[in-house]
Chains A and B, each alone.
Chain A
Amino acid sequence: MKHITYRILGLCTLILMATACTTVQPWERGSLAQDMMAWQADAMKGSLDNHIHFAKEGTSGGGSAAGGGCGCN
Chain B
Amino acid sequence: MKAKNSLAALAAVAAAMPGHADPVPTEKAISYRFSEYQEGEIPENRTFSPVLERYNIEVHQLGYRRPLSGNWYLRSEMQYETMSGASPMQTYQNTDGQSVVLMSGASIEESRFDLKLSPTRYFDGTGKGAIDGTLGGTLALSTENDYNSVSLGVDATLNLFDKHTTLLGSISTSYDMLAPTDAILSESRQAADGQVKRSISIYEGVSQVINKATVLQIGGGFTRLTGYLSDPYKLEDRRPDDRTQFLLDSRLRRYYKVLSGAAIHLDYRYISDSWGIHSNTIDLAWAQKMSAGRMDIFLTPSVRYYRQTEASFYSMDASGDEMFTSSDYRLSSYGAVSAGVEARFVYGGFQLSVDWQQYVADEEMMLLQIPDEEAPALVNYSILSIGVEYRRE
**Chain A contact surface mostly:** loop
B216 at the binding interface (Cβ < 8 Å): yes
Assess A70 versus B14: contact at CB under 8 Å? Given A37-B253, A45-B342. Answer: no
A-B contacts at CB below 8 angstroms, number: 253
CB atoms of B381 and A27 under 8 A apart = no
CB atoms of B150 and A68 under 8 A apart = yes
Which of A15, A63, A68 is packed against the most chain B CB atoms within 10 Å? A68
- Could you tell me which residues of chain A, from 19 to 45, have a CB within 8 Å of some CB in chain B? 21-24, 26-45
Q: How large is the interface on B (under 10, 10 to 19, 20 to 34, 35 or more residues)?
A: 35 or more
CB atoms of A35 and B298 under 8 A apart = yes
Q: How large is the interface on A (under 10, 10 to 19, 20 to 34, 35 or more residues)?
A: 35 or more
CB atoms of B249 and A62 under 8 A apart = yes
**Chain B contact surface mostly:** strand
Assess A4 versus B272: contact at CB under 8 Å? Given A61-B221, A63-B251. Answer: yes
CB atoms of B261 and A47 under 8 A apart = no
Assess A32 versus B233: contact at CB under 8 Å? Given A26-B14, A37-B18, A68-B142. Answer: no
- Mask of A40-73 contacts with B, CB within 8 angstroms, 1/0: 1111110111011100111101111111111101
Task: Report which A residues bind B (CB closer than 8 A).
Answer: 3-4, 7-8, 11, 14-15, 17-18, 21-24, 26-45, 47-49, 51-53, 56-59, 61-71, 73
Task: Report which B residues bind A (CB closer than 8 A).
Answer: 7, 10-11, 13-20, 31, 33, 35, 37, 55, 59, 61, 63, 75, 77, 79, 87, 108, 112, 114, 116, 138, 140-142, 144, 146-147, 149-151, 153, 155, 162, 164, 168, 170-172, 174-176, 178, 197, 199, 201-203, 205-206, 208-213, 215-221, 223, 231, 233, 245-251, 253, 255, 261-263, 269-273, 277-279, 281, 287-289, 298, 300, 306, 308, 311, 330-332, 336, 342, 344, 353, 355, 357, 359, 379, 381, 383, 385, 387
Extra contacts, 5 of them, besides A33-B17, A39-B217, A59-B271 (Cβ < 8 A), are A26-B10, A36-B263, A39-B18, A66-B223, A70-B112
